[in-house]
Amino acid sequence: MSQDEYYRGILDRISDAFIGLFVYLISTIRKGWREKNRSRIAEWKLMFYALNRSPPGVIGLFLVTIFVFLGIFGPLIAPYKYNYFPIFENSKTYLSPPGEFFVLGADHFGRDLLSLLLQGARTSLVISIIVILLGVPAGIILGLIAGYFGGKIDELIMRITDMFLAFPPLILAIAFAAVLPDRISYLINTYPPLQQFLLWLFALERTEGGNLSRLLAVMIAMAVVWWPGYARITRGSTLTEREALYVESARAIGLPSSKIMLRHILPNIIGPILVYVTLDFGTVVLTEAGLSFLGLGATPPIADWGRIVYDGTQFFPNAWWLIIFPGFIVFLDVLGWNLLGDALRDVLDPKLRRSIEFKVKKVKKSKTKDMEIKEVEHE
């Protein structure tokens, strides 16, 4: 118990520091923000405390931190480069099982699976982030517009949104991913800075320039599928927020609509959307792996978790490690995001939040008199 308390204390202090830093940053940009939002800051702190008391949330946060870390530093700490083919030097490395040449075995080019997985962490992270960065703001903006203006505009946007929602997302993504590369390769080839930037993002070498368009196509395809969900939830929250007093008064003093939407409504509805993003991040990772498992997206020698499995299936069941390990990594990554998102959702829901911390010890009902109840005081 005291051990528990000790670690929670540390976690609480870390989260306090984190919020403190965040608040400090905001209040340097906007003077007086801290004073105006005291209750909100206190609420955030409570949320983090609650998160720290939810073991799945802590595990999720831990996994997510690891995978973000690996996404950033994975290619640097990988023992071998993704485009180093040992098979040319030693033909025995061909599909060598775990432990023989490399800890986790090798693929059909004799490449070290561990290094590929580390490199693949970058691919996965970059694609997921870009999909979120493209899809989520688009959805939020459309949802804001639909919810704020209502009427015909709302009707039109939501009809289109419904169409995209009606569509099996994987099929739509497949269609886009198959069709786009030819278009994009032209774009990439005519803008060398873009090409270089992408190569740097994915930690790839110059020689892979030609393969970038397929990666980019997958990202765009997924972004196209991803915005409708966000348009929906943003519209929903905007509709309720639109009636709030502060929006009325902002309108009354003649602020432009765009300003009201972005400066006033958005900050008030962003919380739940961010939780949704957290939950969704896992789905993005999973979908990306699925697409590359179907042979879309990354092509060898670019390392990609789904693609490793796709190539490995030819050698199934002999080279089982090419399927089991990458699949497990995808699983852990997605699980991390889902655990974190799930815990965050509880924390954001005031009704559920109560139950996180106060797990009252169950006492037999018959003894109503002087029941002893473990009282867990907060603060």
Partner 1 sequence: MSKKILEVKNLTVHFYTYAGIVKAIEEVSFDVFEGETFALVGETGCGKSVTARAITQLIESPGRIVRGEVYYNPDGERLNLLELPDEEIRTIRGNDIAYIFQDPQSSLDPLYNVGYQVSESLFVHGRVKSIKDGIKKAVNILRTVLLPDPERRVSNYPHELSGGMKQRVTIGIGISNDPRILIADEPTTALDVTVQAQILWLIKEMKKRYGVTVILITHDMGVVADMADRVAVMYAGKIVEVAEVTEVFKNPVHPYTQGLLKAVPNPLKKIERLETIPGTVPSLINPPSGCRFHPRCPEISKVCKEKIPELREVKKNHFVACHNR
Partner 2 sequence: MAELKKFLVRRMLTFIPTIIGITLIVFAIAYLIPADPARAWAGGEKASQKAIELVKERYHLNEPWYDQYIFLITGLIKNEIIDPRTSNPVMDDVGKRFPVTFQLALFAYFFVLAIGIPLGLISALKRDTAIDTFVRIFALIGVSTPVFWLGYILIYIFFVNIRIINLAGVPPSPEIVITHVPVIDSLITGNFELFRQHVARFWLPGFVLGFMGAGVVARFVRNSFLEAISGDYIEFLKAKGVPKLRVYRHAMKNSLVPIITVLGLQFGVLLSGAPITETVFGLPGIGLYAVFSIGTLDFPAIVAVTLLFALVYVIANLIVDIFYAVIDPRVRY
d(CA 28, CA 9): 28
Distance in Å, CB of 46 to partner 1, minimum:
8
3-state secondary structure 300-321: CCCCCHHHHHHHHHHHCCCCCH
Q: How far is CA 2 from CA 5, 6, 52, 166, in A?
A: 5, 6, 15, 52
When the beta carbons of 155 and 205 are compared against partner 2, the nearer one is: 155
Distance in Å, CB of 42 to partner 1, minimum:
11
Q: Which residues bind partner 1 (CB under 8 A)?
A: 46, 50, 350, 353-358, 360, 363, 365-366, 368-371, 373, 375-378
Binding mask 255-294 for partner 2 (x = CB under 8 A): ---------------------------xx--x--xx--xx
Does residue 183 interact with partner 2 by CB under 8 A?
A: yes
| Binding partner of 350, given partner 2, partner 1, none, CB within 5-8 angstroms per partner class | partner 1
When the beta carbons of 179 and 274 are compared against partner 2, the nearer one is: 179
When the beta carbons of 159 and 369 are compared against partner 1, the nearer one is: 369
| Binding partner of 174, given partner 2, partner 1, none, CB within 5-8 angstroms per partner class | partner 2
| Binding partner of 28, given partner 2, partner 1, none, CB within 5-8 angstroms per partner class | none
Q: How far is CA 140 from CA 60, 148, 216, 280, in A?
A: 26, 12, 22, 14
Does residue 117 interact with partner 2 by CB under 8 A?
A: no
Distance in Å, CB of 258 to partner 1, minimum:
38
State the DSSP code for 360. Answer: P
- Spatial neighbors of 203 by CB under 8 A, at least 6 apart, are 75, 76, 119, 122
Distance in Å, CB of 357 to partner 1, minimum:
5
When the beta carbons of 12 and 129 are compared against partner 1, the nearer one is: 12
When the beta carbons of 175 and 270 are compared against partner 2, the nearer one is: 175
- Output the CA angle 26-30-31, nearest 5 degrees: 115
Site for partner 2, residues 293 to 352, rule: CB under 8 A: 293-295, 306, 309, 313, 316-317, 320, 323-324, 326-328, 330-331, 334-335, 338-339, 342
- Spatial neighbors of 10 by CB under 8 A, at least 6 apart, are none
Distance in Å, CB of 219 to partner 2, minimum:
16
Distance in Å, CB of 366 to partner 1, minimum:
7
| Binding partner of 253, given partner 1, partner 2, none, CB within 5-8 angstroms per partner class | none
d(CA 255, CA 332): 47
In 3-state terms, what secondary structure has residue 246?
Answer: helix
- Spatial neighbors of 376 by CB under 8 A, at least 6 apart, are 357, 358, 359, 360
| Binding partner of 100, given partner 1, partner 2, none, CB within 5-8 angstroms per partner class | none
Buried residues in 72-97 as b, exposed as e (16+ CB within 10 A): eebbeebebbbbbebbeeeeebbbbe
Are the beta carbons of 77 and 64 closer than 8 angstroms?
no
